[in-house]
Amino acid sequence: MDILYKSTRDNSKSLTASQAIVKGIADDGGLFMPDRFPSLDLSLEDLSKLDYRGVAYEVMKLFFSDFTEEELKYCINNAYDSKFDTDEIVPMSFVENAYYLELFHGSTIAFKDMALSILPYLMKVSAKKNNISEDIVILTATSGDTGKAALAGFAGVDGVKICVFYPKGGVSAIQEKQMVTQVGNNVKVVGIKGNFDDAQTGVKNIFADKEFNEKINAAGYRFSSANSINIGRLIPQVVYYTYAYANLLRNGKIEEGDLINFVVPTGNFGNILAGYFAKCIGVPINKLICASNENKVLYDFFETSVYDRNRDFVLTTSPSMDILISSNFERLVYLSCGKDAAKNAEFMNDLKESGKYNVTADMKRFIDETFIGGFASEKMVSDKIKKTFDETGYVIDTHTAVAASVFDEYLKNSNDDTTTVIVSTASPYKFTRAVLSSIDGIRHDEDDFVLVDKLNELSKLEIPKAVNDIRNAPILHDIVCEKQEMKDEVAKFLGL
């Protein structure tokens, strides 16, 4: 029986995986969820003998059950290839007290590559399976990393156009340079005068605009989303949790069946939710530790059962986590209320109307069985980067440092000696200014590429190709618009 997908806000309709991938988000504004959790076919021992692509197939075939083996392997083999700078795809290092699972060896040196290298292929195959003749227009709001990873994934793919919106001034200089130098005749990049939530809300409003949708349909286009709400992004992320377990088993670090923890630097809640999906298909996971930066809406939720976005938005040194509405959290809320779509829709309506909602004690208990919240201040992040480098020589980026710092606090306050994996989401070369300042204690005002060289001198860590490639690349995108003008920019892009 195929796994079917239903909206978190309306249980009455079911879609196949390929239909849900093309659609991105449900018409009612809800997110697609599998109607049940499948189980891994192979034992963990057997999985430990497979390479990344092998594990990817074993995991994705469970959720994308309407894809043929040939279709899925075509997607996997095109995604996880020499774009990654290591055959292992996701190498792991033990440093101090935990394993660091490095998800930044893809073409844009951040974890978004794990899913966005495969999404364009999944989308192309899905469109073909469903006889969709219109060109797909991907609209994406980015807090920094998704944008470039989506541009890199979709540039030059036939039948697809992509438009990325980022908060002007809210992303790192390297992140911005990566985006505005993107080549390809099917791409557009726009800075908006607002923060990430404004960009995300703007994109959601365009998707929900019936009239505008009809207008673009008439011109031969249809919208889809590459944001982390698409199951075509969520499911590929389940793979590296499974692979990490298999890797530890292969290397004799754990025995089959041993539980492990993951600490995940969290923003939109997509990465950590994939960890939960891994647990649901049979990967032995004890705790998922949700690490927030100073935008600690999730940490406060774990403390109080109230999700409350009414607060000032803080610009931190971990911009990819500067988020007040963690979209994917809705999926956990939906599961925690027993897949009651009407009830979930009420919470989401409260969020929309008053900026907050309060879950029931039963729901909170369900969530607490697996999840633990923590947060790190800017000072803790900076101290952790320095301490880790000084004591071990290992350089971590600001996002990873949020997780590492939260893990240190967790160890201080618990007796948990479970083997733990820190999910490492970006190369330190993506956030050189903050990383270097943390290590040498100096405020750096130099050009970003000067800082790249300084960090290289200090750390001896090889400069990734992705950084060298953009050093002298020309700027191809310089549009900045008001948040109310996003729709006009899309219309211009499509020639309407």
Catalytic residues: 112
> Closest approach of Cβ 178 to ligand PLP, in Å?
12
How is residue 155 annotated by DSSP? T
Pick from 269, 347, 410, 493: which binds ligand PLP (CB under 6 A)?
Answer: 269
For residues 323 and 411, the answer to whether their CB atoms sit within 8 Å is: no
Q: How many CB atoms lie within 10 A of CB 390?
A: 9
Of 407-466, binders to ligand PLP (CB under 6 A) are 425-426
Pick from 30, 191, 232, 270: which binds ligand PLP (CB under 6 A)?
Answer: 270
Spell out the alpha helix ranges (H) of 137-266: 145-154, 173-180, 196-208, 210-218, 231-250
Of 169-228, binders to ligand PLP (CB under 6 A) are 228
Residue 295 found at the interface with ligand PLP (CB under 6 A) = no
Residue 56 found at the interface with ligand PLP (CB under 6 A) = no
Residue 110 found at the interface with ligand PLP (CB under 6 A) = yes
Q: Which is nearer to ligand PLP, 104 or 493 (CB)?
A: 104
> Closest approach of Cβ 155 to ligand PLP, in Å?
19
Residue 320 found at the interface with ligand PLP (CB under 6 A) = yes
Q: Which is nearer to ligand PLP, 85 or 489 (CB)?
A: 85
Smallest CA-to-CA distance from 332 within 403, 402, 426, 234 is with: 234
* Interface with ligand PLP: number of residues (CB under 6 A): 17
Q: Write out the two tokens for 295.
A: 């935008």
> Closest approach of Cβ 388 to ligand PLP, in Å?
16
Q: Which is nearer to ligand PLP, 16 or 292 (CB)?
A: 292
Q: How many CB atoms lie within 10 A of CB 378?
A: 17
> Closest approach of Cβ 111 to ligand PLP, in Å?
6
3-state SS, residue 215: helix
Angle of helix 231-250 versus helix 270-280 axis, rounded to 10: 60
- As a 3-state breakdown, the chain gives helix, strand, coil percent values, each rounded to 5, of 45, 15, 35
Pick from 102, 145, 198, 489: which binds ligand PLP (CB under 6 A)?
Answer: 145
Residue 267 found at the interface with ligand PLP (CB under 6 A) = yes
Smallest CA-to-CA distance from 175 within 150, 194, 206 is with: 150
3-state SS, residue 22: helix
Smallest CA-to-CA distance from 176 within 477, 447, 385, 455 is with: 477
From 3-11, 37-45, 260-268, 372-380, span contacting ligand PLP (CB under 6 A): 260-268
Residues engaged in binding ligand PLP (CB under 6 A): 110-112, 145, 228, 265-271, 320-321, 399, 425-426
